[in-house]
Amino acid sequence: MKLADNKSTLSFSNGSPQVELPVYQGTIGPDVIDIRKLYAQTGMFTYDPGFMSTASCQSAITYIDGDKGELLYRGYPIEQLAEKCDYLDTCYLLLNGELPDNAQRDDFHQLVTNHTMVNEQMQFFLRGFRRDAHPMAVLTGLVGALSAFYHDSTDIHNPEHRNIAAIRLIAKMPTLVAMAYKYGLGQPYMYPQNNLSYAGNFLRMMFGTPCEEYKVNPVIEKAMDRIFILHADHEQNASTSTVRLCGSSGTNPFAAIAAGVACLWGPAHGGANEAALNMLYDIQKQGGVEKIGDFIKQVKDKNSNVKLMGFGHRVYKNYDPRAKLMQETCNEVLEALGLQNDPLFALAKALEKIALEDEYFVSRKLYPNVDFYSGIVQRAVGIPVNLFTGIFALARTVGWIAQLNEMIADPEYKIGRPRQLYVGSPRRNVP
Ligand code: SDX
């Protein structure tokens, strides 16, 4: 980053001395005001709950233009990556900053493939859970537990450890997600198969059984790979910020990623895909398209606490580019599976149309986000609703790791420790 050609001066109406704060410019996007010396110079903090106007770091990984509805991974538009690359190419790009050449691509794919198995002891963790445990509860536990197996890669300050931990997490997440699914079904786990693609291997671990050969459907394999690409990273969202803050204490990467899994679970964040599909099911049960008007009325009634799940975004004040690509993937998969008249897809498209013509949504710039259509395509593929966020976590692991490694490699980074505006009781004595 470099000094911007304008300065910022803070002045106070109570006559306190003015403060000059440097303004920095990035490559693209908003400039930042460096307030690091503000407290030392004024004895005051800034106040920004929810971080609406706060840049927590400098990063070269992902750029979002919320007004244009643009998403770039290391400068490449998401539309081009979804079209021309696969998920592992995208992982290489996010981790290393450049797309791999053929030799690098083959090496990286081989490296990930060779780390897809988990320690045999991992299966005993699952036995502690009820069979009907939510897969995200299981996944949070399993990812955290990985740190108990890899003492050779838990020193986050050792670049070698950071690299092998990244490979292990990217490689093992599909295996862990599939194990959580199989455990819920009471079916045997499927071991990874090295001659399959990343997405194909995941599908076989999910839907294959030891009783017969599993044939990967190429349309579904491509759809899964695209879903992974669309969810791979997204700037400083809540779970990525959680991973950065957690990792800033120097804890091991597996523990930091487990914190990201836990944060992503929330319905306002990665849990929205599960909530969006359940919302569509509810509208369907109440009568489908004819009932959309009543539902929209509920959403607009503040006392109802009902939100249109899969809509709205802190950054996108235009259509989320991932939602467009997800809708395309929806079309392709439903067509391939002969489900083009899927009532839920028709309902979602009708709901989107009505919402985008309604002043309540237009005035608040609420558009479909990545979670609005992802549930429909995952359901069509056979993934249970309560596993949608687990798939999101699987795909986002590379983003979390890339952001964590970028932070640790930044000589300026410190342990994250925000302050507060204290509004509690002044000092008093116990009677
Ligand atoms: C993800 O940050 C990321 O990048 C996240 C993510 C990623 O890839 O990591 O993109 C993934 O989390 C996508 C978002 C998934 N969440 C949902 O779909 C849940 C529904 N969406 C809302 O909860 C909400 O839109 C948020 C949480 C996503 C964003 O909330 P903000 O930025 O805090 O905005 P807000 O709540 O202040 O909303 C502004 C107004 C409010 O109304 P008013 O007070 O102005 O009258 O818009 C309303 C809100 O009530 N509003 C909605 C709404 N979202 C916002 N009203 C109805 N339905 C919605 N979905």
Residue whose CA is closest, atom 28 of ligand 1?
A: 313
Asked if 125 and 202 sit in the same domain, the reply is: yes
Residue 75 covered by a domain: no
Q: How far is the CA of 307 from the centre of ligand 1 (A)?
A: 9
Beta sheet of 62-65, edge-to-edge order: 62-65, 70-73, 76-77
Per-position DSSP letters for 31-77, written without gaps between them: -EE--TTHHHHHS-----GGGTT------SSEEEETTTTEEEETTEE
Region of residue 408 (phi > 0: left; psi between -120 and 50: alpha; otherwise: beta): alpha
How confident is the model at residue 340, as a pLDDT? Answer: 86
Task: Give the residue, by CA position, lying nearest to ligand 1 atom 34.
Answer: 314
Inside any domain, residue 183: yes
Q: Report the pLDDT value the prediction gives residue 167, as an integer from 0 to 100.
A: 97
Mean pLDDT value across residues 414-422: 96
308 lines ligand 1 (CB under 6 A): yes
Length of the chain in terms of residues written: 431
Question: Phi and psi of 354, rounded to 5°?
Answer: -65, -45
Query: Minimal CA–CA distance to 189: which of 258, 109, 124?
Result: 124
The Cβ-side half-sphere exposure at 105, using a 13 Å CA radius, reads 11
The one catalytic residue in 86, 233, 342, 371 is 371
What's residue 228's pLDDT? 98
Asked whether residue 61 falls in the same domain as residue 117, the answer is no
pLDDT of res. 404: 97
Same domain, yes or no: 14 and 88: no
* 313 tagged catalytic: yes
| Range 420-431 average pLDDT | 97
Q: What is the pLDDT of residues 364-400, one digit of tens each?
A: 999 999 899 999 899 999 999 999 999 999 999 999 9
**Residue 122 CA, ligand 1 centroid: distance in Å:** 36
Return the SS3 of 23.
strand
Same-domain status, 230 and 353: yes
Domain boundary (70, 96, 122) is at: 70
Please say whether the beta carbons of 141 and 125 come within 8 A: yes
Q: What is the mean pLDDT of residues 94-116?
A: 98
Kindly report, residue by residue over 61-75, the tens digit of the pLDDT: 999 999 999 999 999
Is residue 81 predicted with pLDDT exceeding 80? Answer: yes
- Which residue type sits at 335? E
Mean pLDDT for all residues in the chain: 95
Query: Is residue 157 in some structural domain?
Result: yes
Q: Give residue 3's pLDDT band: very low, low, confident or very high (50, 70, 90).
A: confident
Would the CB of 177 count as within 6 Å of ligand 1?
no
DSSP state of 188: P
Could you report the per-residue pLDDT of 209-238, keeping only the tens digit for each? 999 999 999 999 999 999 999 999 999 999
Model pLDDT for residues 176-204, shown as the tens digit of each residue: 999 999 999 999 999 999 999 999 999 99
Angle at 407 between CA 112 and CA 49, to 5 degrees: 120
In a domain, 331, yes or no: yes
Give the whole-angstrom CA distance, residue 251 versus residue 143.
Answer: 14
Reduced to 3 states (helix: H, G, I; strand: E, B; else coil), residue 131 is coil
Residue 64, domain CATH:
2.20.28.60
Residue 399, amino acid: G
Whether residue 169 sits in one domain with residue 52: no
Residue that is last in its domain, among 36, 70, 104: 70
Rounded Cα distance between 66 and 233, Å, is 15
Work out the pLDDT band at 88, boundaries 50, 70, 90.
Answer: very high
Distance from the alpha carbon of residue 186 to the mean position of ligand 1, in angstroms: 36
Active site annotation includes 225: no
pLDDT at 79 over 90: yes
Instruction: Establish if 343 belongs to a structural domain.
Output: yes
pLDDT at 2: 85
Q: Is the same domain home to 103 and 52?
A: no
* pLDDT per residue as tens digits for the range 137-182: 999 999 999 999 987 777 888 888 899 999 999 999 999 999 999 9
Q: For residues 224-241, b (16+ Cβ closer than 10 Å) or e, as one string? A: bbbbbbbbbbbbbbbbbb
CATH of the domain at 205: 1.10.580.10
121 and 266 inside one domain? yes
Domain count of the chain? Answer: 2
What's the rounded mean pLDDT across residues 402-429? 95
366 lines ligand 1 (CB under 6 A): yes
The residues, any chain, with a CB within 8 Å of residue 193's CB and separated by 6 or more, are 201, 204
Q: What percent of the chain has pLDDT over 70?
A: 100
The answer to whether position 130 is within a domain reads yes
Pocket test of ligand 1: the residue of 48, 235, 278, 311 to mutate, having most ligand atoms within 8 Å of its CB, is 311
Q: For residue 269, give the ligand 1 atom closest to its CA.
A: 12
Question: Are residues 90 and 56 part of one domain?
Answer: no
pTM: 0.95
State which of 292, 325, 366, 398 you would mutate to test the pocket of ligand 1, scoring each by most atoms of that ligand within 8 A of its C-beta: 366
pLDDT of residue 363: 93
* Structure tokens that stand for 299 in this block: 């959403």
Same domain? For 385 and 279 the reply is: yes
Whether residues 243 and 185 fall in one domain = yes
pLDDT single digits (tens) 30-60: 999 999 999 999 999 999 999 999 999 999 9
What is the residue range of 11's domain? Answer: 2-70
Domain boundary among 20, 51, 70: 70
Rounded to whole angstroms, the Cα distance separating 371 from 322 reads 9
d(CA 389, CA 416) in angstroms, rounded, equals 27
**Catalytic-labelled residue, pool 109, 134, 234, 313:** 313
- CA-based nearest residue to 396, from 242, 197, 261: 261
CB-ligand 1 contact for 347 (6 Å cutoff): no
| One domain for residues 272 and 410 | yes
Same domain? For 241 and 119 the reply is yes
Per DSSP, 1 falls in state -
**Atom 7 in ligand 1: residue holding the nearest Cα:** 234
Question: Could you tell me if residue 392 is inside a domain?
Answer: yes
Residue 214's pLDDT is 98
Amino acid type, 160? E
